[in-house]
Structure 1
Amino acid sequence: MKQRSAKFGIGDVVRHKFFPFRGVIFDVDPEFANSEEWWNAIPAEVRPHKDQPFYHLLAENSETEYVAYVSEQNLERDQSPEPLRNPQIQQIFEPQQTGRYKPKMNFAH
């Protein structure tokens, strides 16, 4: 298996390149680690490669907050000055510091 470094880290605020949502990363898988059912639900023409980091996000869009699982190729740093509103953020992270969140000690790996 090819050694690969993750582009983003826990606490980074990111946004999806193609869909209108953003969030904070709370976990990283070095490669795809979700179910085949989840994988097959993605249309084949937009399905990302499995051999890249995948990120667990406390995500939000204009309507709701949720947990998302997103490939590295579909994420970019979020430049918005707007704070995230996902209520789960306060359970895992300290208040935002300069564009990223610091994990609380009891949630750090």
Structure 2
Amino acid sequence: MKHRTAKFSIGQVVKHRIYPFRGVIFDVDPVFSNTEEWWQSIPEDRRPAKDQPFYHLYAENAESEYVAYVSEQNLVLDTSGEPVRHPEVDEVFVRDGEGAYKARQGHAN
């Protein structure tokens, strides 16, 4: 598999292209690094290629907060400027005056 440079970085707020959720990136895999079972559970017509970066997000939707694992092809930058309410965000990141998330000391990824 050919590795690509990640388009997004840790601390950026992104949203899913199709599904109504958004989140803060807290880790990046250069290529797919989850289980085959997880990958197969995605409907075939929406299943992403494995040879692209995959992102771990502290995610939220209208109902809940959770951790998501999302392919780069399914993410876009969230430009809303709204804070992410996931409870782990404040443990790992500090939000600066411009709305960007920076890793807290001791939480470098």
Return the TM-score normalized by structure 2: 0.94
Gaps of 5+ in 1: none
- The separation in 1 between residues aligned to 2:10 and 2:3, in whole angstroms, is 19
TM superposition shift of 1:81: 2.4
In terms of fraction of residues, the more strand-rich structure is 2
**In the alignment, what sits opposite 1:11?**
11
Q: Quote the offset at 1:107 in angstroms.
A: 1.1
Map of 2:51 onto structure 1? 51
Counting only pairs closer than 5 Å after superposition, residues 1-109 of structure 1 correspond to structure 2 as 1-109=1-109
Q: Distance in 1 between matches of 2:25 and 2:97?
A: 14
- Sequence identity (%): 61
CA RMSD, Structure 1 to Structure 2 (Å):
1.1
TM superposition shift of 1:96: 4.0
Residues of 2 paired with 1:85 and 1:96: CA distance? 15
Q: Which moved more, 1:37-46 or 1:49-58?
A: 37-46
Q: How many residues align?
A: 109
Residues 3 and 51 in structure 2, CA contact (< 8 A), matched pair in contact too: no
C-alpha displacement at 1:66, in angstroms?
Answer: 0.2
Residue type of the partner of 1:10? Answer: I
Q: Distance in 2 between matches of 1:82 and 1:92?
A: 17
Q: Is residue 3–residue 30 contact of structure 2 (8 Å, CA) maintained in 1?
A: no
Q: Normalising by structure 1, what TM-score?
A: 0.94
Aligned equivalents of 1:53 and 1:81: distance in 2?
24
Taking structure 1 as reference, are residues 96 and 22 closer, same or farther at Cα in structure 2, changes over 3 Å only?
farther
